Amino acid sequence: MKLLLAVITTALLWPSGLIAQGADSIAKISADFQAAGQDDDLIDDDEMKSLGGRALALAKAKGGRVGFDATLWTFYVARYGEDDGATRKKLRRGAMDLVIKRYANSTGSLKKIVAEWRVLRPDDVNEFAGYYRELAKATKKAAVKELAKAGGFGLLSQKADMGFALTDKERKQMLAHWKKLVAEKGDEKNPNDRAGRSYADSLKGKIFEIENLYIGATVPEIAGTDIDGVSFKLSDYRGKVVMLDFWGHW
Amino acid sequence: MYPHERSLVKKLAGKPFAIIGVNSDSDIEVVKKAVKEENLTWRSFWNGPKGTGGPISEAWNVTGWPTIYVIDAEGKIRFKNVQGEKLDEAVEKLLAEMEQKKK
């Protein structure tokens, strides 16, 4: 009896043990990514190619949780690769094909996926905007169409936050979108505002920023007092190059 | 951040360049002490007792600290959120433009 049990256990464990040794996993990719990026914010292009390729292969091979996580990892690795834009795009394209095929009607999964679409380079905007359009077309769900629309504007907002200049057309789009929101739902609570403010209050600053604080705009006046209580104005320094620094001692 | 600002001030002494801060500490005494102890030579607006929720950062929609704008001699915003070497390059580029215009 003992012997029989041992034989059965070995037969059960042996094949799966063999597969586990050779097969790739999220844990392995994650560990190798940590190792690749430990000296820098970004990883080398060849590491992006190899790690991203592994994540995408795993995503294609597996369904369920592992396949989903591997899809996220493909976008993640691509984001942190250094300069090789062609590889970055190829990886994302591959992951995007899976997104359309598997998750186009799953709002919860998509929320996690689009959170990985962060604008780090000006080109990213057009690429991600294209993905949102594909999603809107592929989905049957109204909630996903809504998410795709909001996502498109979110990209422009991210682009501006990164310090990249928006085109005049992009600025006008954003402004029209926000002003419409304020006009339609001004007093309603904005569900996307972490401070829980109304649409009107939460968008006031954003509207000011996009109207007045873009690259190329004449800087708005600041009139206030210095830390000794002496009044002065930002325009007192016209004629000099000024680094305006919002800082705190914390 | 202070060492970088200090090195900019030192490197560009005598050039038409200024750092203007918008300090967002809620306690003015903390700021005064920091300025003295860290020997911060540039001038700052105080954002008031609401700290990061004060009127200047609120109006400018500042949600992250530090937030940096680089403004040219004509008062045009030219760079936003540049840090480290990129910040030095931005300032030097604008100073070089001024030199060019003088000629």
B96 interface with A at CB cutoff 8 Å: no
Per-residue pLDDT of chain A (250 residues; tens, 9 = 90+): 444 444 444 444 444 434 444 689 999 999 999 988 876 678 999 999 999 999 999 999 999 999 999 999 999 999 999 989 999 999 999 999 999 999 999 999 999 999 999 998 888 999 999 999 999 999 999 999 999 988 988 898 888 777 787 888 888 988 998 899 899 999 999 877 778 889 999 889 889 998 999 889 999 999 999 999 999 999 999 999 999 999 998 7
At A20 the pLDDT is: 44
CA distance A144 to A150: 10
Q: Contact, A99 vs A59, CB < 8 A?
A: no
Q: What is the ipTM of this complex?
A: 0.96
Per-residue pLDDT reduced to its tens digit, B58-87: 999 998 889 999 999 999 999 998 888 999
Return left, alpha or beta for B90; rule: phi > 0 is left, psi -120 to 50 is alpha, else beta.
alpha
Strands A241-247 and A223-225: unpaired
Tokens of B89: 């390059």
At B102 the pLDDT is: 80
Q: Which residues pair with A233 in a beta bridge?
A: A223
- pTM of structure: 0.69
| Closest to A214 in 3D by CA, of B54, B60, B20 | B60
SS3 B71: strand
Residue pairs between chains A and B whose CB atoms are closer than 8 Å = 152
A202–chain B nearest CA distance, Å: 10
Q: Contact, A184 vs A178, CB < 8 A?
A: no
Tokens of B96: 């070089």
Is a pLDDT exceeding 60 seen at residue B57? yes
| Closest to A25 in 3D by CA, of A59, A75, A76 | A59
At A192 the pLDDT is: 72
Please indicate whether, in this complex, the C-beta atoms of B59 and A216 are within 8 angstroms of each other. Answer: no
At A6 the pLDDT is: 45
At B81 the pLDDT is: 86
Please indicate whether, in this complex, the C-beta atoms of B73 and A214 are within 8 angstroms of each other. Answer: no
Instruction: Compute the residue count for chain B.
Output: 103
Contacts of B93-99 with C-beta under 8 Å, sequence gap 24+, read: B94/A241, B94/B70, B95/A241, B95/B12, B95/B15, B95/B16, B95/B17, B97/B72, B98/A241, B98/B16, B98/B72, B98/B73
**Contact residues, chain B, for A246 at CB < 8 Å:** 21-22, 24, 47, 57, 60, 62, 65-68
Please indicate whether, in this complex, the C-beta atoms of A208 and B74 are within 8 angstroms of each other. Answer: no
At A3 the pLDDT is: 46
At A39 the pLDDT is: 64
Alpha helices in chain A (DSSP H): 2-22, 26-36, 45-61, 64-80, 85-98, 107-114, 124-138, 142-161, 168-185, 199-212
* Dihedral angle over CA of A30, A33, A39, A45, nearest 10: -170
At A42 the pLDDT is: 87
At A21 the pLDDT is: 47
At B46 the pLDDT is: 96
**Contact residues, chain B, for A157 at CB < 8 Å:** none
Mean pLDDT value across residues B48-56: 94
The radius of gyration of chain B's CA atoms, rounded to the nearest angstrom, is: 15
CA distance A73 to B12: 44
Please indicate whether, in this complex, the C-beta atoms of A245 and B5 are within 8 angstroms of each other. Answer: yes
Q: Say what percent of chain B tops pLDDT 90.
A: 73
At A187 the pLDDT is: 93
Amino acid identity of residue B76, one-letter, is K
